[in-house]
Every structure is written in structure tokens, then in C-alpha cells.
Amino acid sequence: MADRPTISSHPSGGRYSVATLNANFQALRDEFDNVFGTNGVGGANNSMSGNLDMNTYNVINAGSILDSAGVDLALQSGFAEEWASKAEDSLVSTAAGGNLVDEYSSLHHAAKASASATSASSSSSTATTQASNASTSATNAATSATNASTSETNAATSATNASTSETNASTSETNATSIISSIGLNYNFDSSTTMADPGTGDFRLNNATVASVTAIAVDATTNDTGNPDLSDFVATWDDSTSTIAGYIVGKKVGTPATFFVYSVSTVADNTGWLQLTVTHVTSNGTWTAGDDCIFQFSRSGDKGDTGVGDMSDLIDDLTPQLGGDLDCNGAQIQWSKGADVASNSALPVLTDGNYFDVTGTSTVSSINTTGGAGTLIKLHFDGAVTLTHHATNLILAGATNFTTEAGDEVEFVEYDTGKYRMTGWSLAGTAPGGGGGGAFLGEGASGASVGDSGDIIRVNQQTLDTSQTMSATDNGSCAGPFSVASGVTLTINSGATFTVI
């Protein structure tokens, strides 16, 4: 215990004297020392010479716990904790260091040792892997060297093969050219349409439209190897005595679907180039300048000799003649039925026959040209059609207009180109050219047109239903009674006579 308190004076009237109080303080000190001193010796200043048994209790409110050297053990405990637990790479304070200097904690050294061990293990593993890789690389290098050697050998083989292929290609090209030359004449297409020398190995057409071509110009030389002159051969393409000397077929090389076929009639040799007169037969595709073409020519045979009774040359003879009677051998010569035609001011008959059915009711004042002068045609009318008389184009009987009825048939002869003259009729209704119509009954040269009788009898209609004109040289008569239909006129010119009996 600390030194006892002492007093030197106290207030007046105190109960005890100063000496008494100081003596009491000393007695209290001695008792406290005896209580806390383990040796039981009073005044020993709590000097313990044995262990302090706290009997499961704690020492509290102790300022310091010192070792024999007087060092505070509480501080040493704190230093030990700092040195043991200080984080890696953080220095321990000088006071806590074992040598009273800054240094790293035991945790730091343990972590570094562990990291070093891990690194050493990784390095060992890496070294093993690198050694394995080095072995593999050495193997690969050996393989690469072998492959390089093989590639070099293959390259040399490929070079040899390429050289062989080039030689073969050249040979194939030569063979292909030879094949082309063997199947026809090789020409290049020149797109000009002017008929002149097209140039070495070329040909031209005289029209950009293949189907409209009528002439072909070919050079004397072809486009075959060496550009041989084959003009003497081409010049023979018209030697046949047939009208069509032969046929020329042109095919585009590599595109055989592009072609043309022409018949050849004549060949003109112009020294250095030749011109073929041709007629289009068929074709397909289009041609571009520079296109390669193969010409193939097939010659027609010569015309044969005419045999006895041979009729094959009637087609060629535009004016065939018979040296005797024409025997139809049980057959007959017939009118040829053409297509029906609609009535029109210019009746549009065609040349597909000479017997035509006329439909409609339009007035007809002329007829189209058919086969030319001498052609006979017969018209069948389906209804009432007015035929208009014309002094040259359509000459009708009686020189007057005539209106047909359904079923009437009228014949014409084309006496000049596009000009017709009525030559006969077979009527279901009114006769043309006669006032009201009429006929003769009886036998003899006139025949029997409407009946038979031993005598000649003339019959006529009682009503004039077609306008008539009698010229100065005409005479006419009829049996009465006689009347003129409404709108119809009978004109009797001076010098003519007309008698009603």
C-alpha cells in the first residue's frame, strides 16, 4: 500500500490530537499490507513471493503487470499479437519487432513461404509441360521436315503433270480444230450486211434479221488452220441442174442451238470472195460479231430426164399443153369451192377456188382479181344483193343493175385483170336483163328450159319488177296483161319498139 497519509494540524476543537490521528493512519496501513502481502509480514509493501491464486476470479483495475526485469507484460502481449497477425506485406511496429526494428509478421512470412512453395510447384509443373512441349515440337519439326520433303516431291510431280496437261490441252485444241475442219467449213461471223469481201476466214449476211437474209458473202479462205482457200469447192454449190442447188446449214460453235438453214440457188465467184443467193428455210438464236460458225453443205441431185407419161414437170411448165384428149380416167373436172365471202362494193373473192358462197346484202360493183384473164367464177347468193352494172369492171346482162334472190347463182368470166362479164345464171327468182323475166318452152336448138312442148312457146311475167332500158336497136314484146311495179321504170329509146300483145 502507498505511504500512509499524515496530518500536521487540524481545526481547533478537534476530537483527537494530530498524533492520535497519524498513529491510526499507520495502523491502517500496516493492516492493509498484512492483508495483501502473501508472506504475512507487515510492512512488506505487498511484495509477493508466491503465486497469486485468484480462485476463479480476475485481476481487475491493474495498472501494469511487470516481469522480473520490470517490463510491462501487458504490452508484450499486445506486441506478440501484432507480430503474429499483422497482414502480409505490412510491417510490424519497431516496438513489437523481435529486434526492436521494423520487420514483417509471422503471417507475412508464412504466406510468402506458401506462395513460394506454390510457385515452385507451378514452376515444376511448367517445366514438365515445357519439356513435354519441347519433345512434341521436336516430333512436329521432324514431321514437318518429312511433309516438306513430300510437298517438294508432290510439287515436282504437279509441275510435271501441269506440263503434261498443257501438252495435252494443246493436242486437244489441235484435235478439236481438226474435228471441226472435218465436219464442215469454219468461218467467223462478220456483222456487216454489205455484200463485199468480209475478210480472211469470215462470212456476212445481207440482213441483220436472219429470216430475211437473201444473200451470204464468204471469203475465199476459211477460218480453219492455215486459212486454206476453198473457193473452188464453194463455187460448185450451184452446179446442180435442180432449181434448188442444195442447202447450207450454219451452226454456232459451242452453241449448236443457234443455227440457220438456207436453200442455195446460185453462187457468184468474185475472186477472193463468193456471194451465195439463198432462201431462208429455218433458223434459231442470234449471231454476234466474231462468233465461230461451221458451214455444212448438202447438194441437190440433178433434175432427171422426163419419162413417157411423166407429169412431174407440169409444176415447172407454166403453159402446159396437151397433145391429145384429156382423159380424166373415170374422174371429173370440178369447180373448186373457195371460202365464203361477205358481199362488199369490191367483192373480196380469193384464189382458193372458183366457186364462192356470197353472204350479206351489201351492193356489189366490182370483183377482186382472181386468176387473171380467162378465169371463170360462179357466185351463189344467200340473199338479196344488188349487182351494179359497170361498162368495164362489172358488165351485166342487159347492161342494167340486177338484184339477186336467195339461191341465185351467177357466172362470170374475168376477161381482163379485175374486170368481169356475166356469162350465165341459174336463178331461183327474177331473170336479169328481161322485163319481168321469161323463157322458151319446146324442143330443138334452144332446148327445154322450163318444160316440154311440141311448139316453141314464149312465157313472161305479168309485172315488170326490174327497171329496163331498150336501146334504139332493140325490139321487145310481151303478152298482156302487163304492168310496171312501183318504183320500176321501162325506158324505150328512140328507134326501139316494145309491143304488148
pLDDT tens-digit readout, 192-234: 999 999 999 999 999 999 999 999 999 999 988 889 999 999 9
Examine the domain organization and report whether 355 and 386 are in the same domain: yes
Residue 173 lies in a domain: no
Amino acid letter, 344: N
Q: How far apart are CA 67 and CA 344, in angstroms?
A: 156
Examine the domain organization and report whether 470 and 418 are in the same domain: no
The predicted pLDDT at position 48 comes to 57
Cα–Cα distances in Å, from 395 out to 127, 398, 439?
130, 9, 22
Kindly report the CATH number assigned to the domain that includes residue 237.
2.40.30
Residue 348 lies in a domain: yes
Examine the domain organization and report whether 263 and 197 are in the same domain: yes
Contacts of 181 (CB under 8 A, 6+ apart): 224, 225
Residue 82 lies in a domain: no
Examine the domain organization and report whether 294 and 200 are in the same domain: yes
Residue 329 lies in a domain: no
Please give the grid coordinates belonging to residue 214: 437473201
DSSP 344-356: -SEE---SS-SEE
Examine the domain organization and report whether 342 and 394 are in the same domain: yes
The predicted pLDDT at position 450 comes to 46
pLDDT, one tens digit for every residue, the chain (501 residues): 556 566 666 666 555 667 777 777 777 777 666 655 545 455 445 555 566 677 787 767 666 666 666 666 555 556 666 666 666 667 666 555 555 456 666 667 777 777 777 777 777 788 788 878 878 888 888 888 888 888 888 888 888 887 777 777 666 665 555 555 557 899 999 999 999 999 999 999 999 999 999 999 999 999 888 899 999 999 999 988 888 989 999 999 989 899 999 999 999 999 999 999 999 999 999 999 999 999 999 888 877 665 555 555 556 667 777 788 878 788 777 888 999 999 999 999 988 889 999 999 999 999 998 888 889 999 999 999 999 999 999 999 888 888 888 888 999 999 999 999 998 888 776 555 544 455 554 444 444 444 444 556 667 778 888 788 888 888 888 888 888 888 888 888 899 898 888
Question: Is there a contact between 431 and 404 (Cβ–Cβ < 8 Å)?
Answer: no
The predicted pLDDT at position 289 comes to 95
Domain holding 343, by residue range, is: 334-433
Tens-digit pLDDT profile for residues 254-289? 898 999 999 999 999 999 999 999 999 999 999 999
Residue 432 preceded by cis peptide, ω within 30: no
Examine the domain organization and report whether 411 and 397 are in the same domain: yes
Residue 444 lies in a domain: yes
The model carries a pTM of 0.34
Residue 79 lies in a domain: no
Cα–Cα distances in Å, from 198 out to 27, 237, 280, 488?
158, 19, 21, 76
Please give the grid coordinates belonging to residue 20: 492520535
Residue 320 lies in a domain: no
The predicted pLDDT at position 64 comes to 64
Examine the domain organization and report whether 276 and 370 are in the same domain: no
The predicted pLDDT at position 311 comes to 57
Share of the chain above pLDDT 90, in %: 31
Examine the domain organization and report whether 428 and 348 are in the same domain: yes
Residue 305 lies in a domain: no
Examine the domain organization and report whether 462 and 371 are in the same domain: no
Buried b or exposed e, range 50-85, using 16+ CB within 10 angstroms: eeeeeeeeeeeeeeeeeeeeeeeeeeeeebeeebee
Examine the domain organization and report whether 414 and 449 are in the same domain: no
Examine the domain organization and report whether 428 and 394 are in the same domain: yes
CA atoms within 13 A on the CB side of 384: 3
The predicted pLDDT at position 237 comes to 92
Of the residues 240, 272, 299, the one at which a domain ends: 299
Examine the domain organization and report whether 400 and 445 are in the same domain: no
Provide the β-strand partners of residue 255. Answer: 252
The total number of structural domains that make up the chain: 4
